[in-house]
Structure 1
Amino acid sequence: MVQTRQVTLLGYWLTIIVAMALKIIPWSTPVLYLTPDWVLLVLIYWAFATPETTSVGKAWFVGLLVDVLTGQLLGQYALAYTVSIYLSVKQHKRIRQFPIIQQSLFVCLILLVAHILVFWVERINDQAVPLQSWLPVLTDGIVWPLVLLVIRKIRFFS
């Protein structure tokens, strides 16, 4: 039991670190607007798969790390990730039963909430937000089945 929990925590933090590395890759401008929020997708996966190891506090901590890595206003991603993981953990039993297409739609809704929160914080801070910044919500929903399958294989392989 203890070893299984350690493997799960190791997989959790390893996938978070890989997602953060994908988040800070310097993409070109057209690709940047299509880049999914890898970190939030991984957090949502872990919230669905093992809600007992994924908490709002961990999401807040990871959000603060992403704020520091991306140079954004401190707490911006922390707020978005905290609310998103709260919604994911609350609905995990129901969502795990859905087919992948419906899960993708739910993930799109969660990411829409996260983007609205980030947009709200940026508007309060008087930052201009381009219209293309909403495209990752669609790409996140498209990429969700791939994230689900890859992390599931990693999780059961270890």
Structure 2
Amino acid sequence: MSVLGRHQGGGVIAVTLLIALLLGIVPLPEGLRAWRPDWALLALLYWSLALPQRIGVGIGWLTGLLQDVLTGTLLGQHALAYAVAVYLVIKLHQRIRLYPLWQQSLSILVLLTLAQLLMLWINGIIGRPIHAWLYWVPSLVGALLWPLVFSLLRRLRRGFRVS
């Protein structure tokens, strides 16, 4: 079997990451913007948890760079946060997979919060203001949405036989 024949469904992964990136820039009313989860990171965490041999730090870095370009943030800010989060998921994927979804949500909360902490650190270095407690809300919302994201992406992965 050729190297290309071993894996399939790369297009499905790319499309879900693209949709997640687009969800991050969809205009929302002012009151809801603070509640928007980091869709791209949630999708990356799922794919790196489900297929750690295919979705690595490089894909996390590239997705983060795209997120930086789309959102107009400092180039490399999301890239660093996403790469670190994906690295940790890959290192811990065998443990995290064993957890029930509610415990996975707690792990995802830690990873999302760590990514936001890295971005907060970078914002502090470049002198951008901090947005008080609302800054942390997307991590909580992302963790609460994890069971839904996990179920939807798992259904897609199985339906399209992504391996």
Give the counterpart letter for 1:86 in structure 2: Y
User: 1:7-156, aligned counterparts within 5 Å?
Assistant: 7=9, 9-131=10-132, 132-156=134-158
Q: Which stretch shifts more, 99-108 or 20-29? A: 20-29
Structure 2: state its 5+ residue gaps: none
Q: State the number of aligned residues.
A: 157
User: What SS does the aligned partner of 1:26 have?
Assistant: coil
- Structure 2: distance between partners of 1:142 and 1:3: 37
TM-score under structure 1 length normalisation: 0.96
Give the counterpart letter for 2:155 in structure 1: K
- Structure 2: distance between partners of 1:143 and 1:92: 19
Identical residues among aligned pairs (%): 40
Structure 1 residue 79 displacement after superposition: 0.5
1:59-81, Cα deviation, whole Å (9 max, x unpaired): 10110011001000000000100
1:74-131, Cα deviation, whole Å (9 max, x unpaired): 0000010010000010000010000001000000000110000000011111111212
Structure 1: state its 5+ residue gaps: none
Structure 1 residues 76 and 32: CA distance shift in structure 2, 3 A: same
- Structure 2: distance between partners of 1:6 and 1:122: 39
- Structure 2: distance between partners of 1:128 and 1:113: 19
Structure 1 residue 3 displacement after superposition: 4.9
TM-score under structure 2 length normalisation: 0.93
Which stretches of structure 1, 4 residues or longer, exceed 6 Å deviation after superposition? none
Structure 1 residue 6 displacement after superposition: 2.7
